[in-house]
Amino acid sequence: MSPRPPAEPADAASRRAAPAAIVYPAGMQAEPDMTVLERARRALVKTGEVVVPPRDARIFRVARGQFFRIVSIDGPQVGDLNLWNAHDLSERFFSGKTRALHATHVSTGDRLWSTMPSLRPMATISHDTLGWYGFDADGAGIHDVIGTRCDPYTNRLLRGTNYDFCCHSNLARALAGELNAEPCAVEHHVHDVLNVFMCTGFTRDTHQYFMKASPVRPGDFIELFAEIDLLGALSACPGGDCGSTHSSDSAACHPLRIEIFEPDRTTLADWPWPSPSSYHRRHGAASP
């Protein structure tokens, strides 16, 4: 049983009435010029595709300036996305800062930011066929950056069983194949994901993370513009549409397709390609 919370102070109401301030208001970071991306995506030529089987993951590469789509095929399915700088795996998607800079769920115009010390946009969401969903009556939205990824360690902790096809393991296995290594030797590169197509929120009363069946249907896609050369990995979550369970073989699962597109490069002639952060990295230490 949880201990009772302490008694409220006399001025509790006024303390709670302090106004909320957005931590990172829109416009503080450079906004992507979506009119340029709209022009660029008008004449996309497909250059490759990868199908991710259910309860498995696949690796893909996208060059700077290309677009890629994650497409629902066959049936409702959630995907767990990892992104790395193709030339330096230590620069990878930073879910927490992306959440702080944008919101708990991301859509068209939002960017996927990389880890410090680079902290730059790795990709910009250029189209989202589920952009109509917004936030529903439960407070749930699509494409969250709040969950981490299903993993065998939490499953072991909570259920005492081993399950080998969680997104963490699928991503580790796919990356291991790419790097010609054992999954346990590369799993530290796997990181908190963009939960593609997943419908999630926090409960109103206890603020616990919840999921509900994804509204994604075959033909829906999220499209991203690569701001740097990317190595990607996508897992088709064992939770399927994530309407009830994951970390088991009980949910109906479907494949996902990754499609890669080349734009008309002349439309991107003036695009401000992001450089790593220019912070000097001395962190206040006294000079030697």
Least spacing, CB of residue 150 vs Zn ion, in Å:
3
Contact status, residue 47 vs residue 262, Cβ threshold 8 Å: yes
List, in order, residues 6 or more apart from 146 with CB less than 8 Å away.
99, 104, 105, 195, 200, 202, 209
Least spacing, CB of residue 196 vs Zn ion, in Å:
11
125's tokens: 């969401």
How far CA 227 is from CA of 59, 95, 268, in Å, comes to 18, 16, 11
Least spacing, CB of residue 187 vs Zn ion, in Å:
15
Closest to Zn ion by CB, 167 or 258: 167
- Name the residues that contact Zn ion, by CB under 5 A: 150, 167, 237
Closest to Zn ion by CB, 52 or 228: 52
Least spacing, CB of residue 51 vs Zn ion, in Å:
18
Closest to Zn ion by CB, 80 or 223: 80
Angle at 240 between CA 236 and CA 245, to 5 degrees: 120
Closest to Zn ion by CB, 56 or 227: 56
Least spacing, CB of residue 238 vs Zn ion, in Å:
6
Q: How far is CA 143 from the centre of its chain?
A: 7
Helix H or strand E encompassing 156 = helix 152-159
Lookup result for tokens 């950056």: 145
Least spacing, CB of residue 200 vs Zn ion, in Å:
12
Closest to Zn ion by CB, 123 or 237: 237
List, in order, residues 6 or more apart from 236 with CB less than 8 Å away.
52, 53, 54, 55, 56, 57, 77, 78, 79, 170, 253, 254, 255, 256
Closest to Zn ion by CB, 56 or 220: 56
Q: Indicate the SS3 state at residue 73.
A: coil
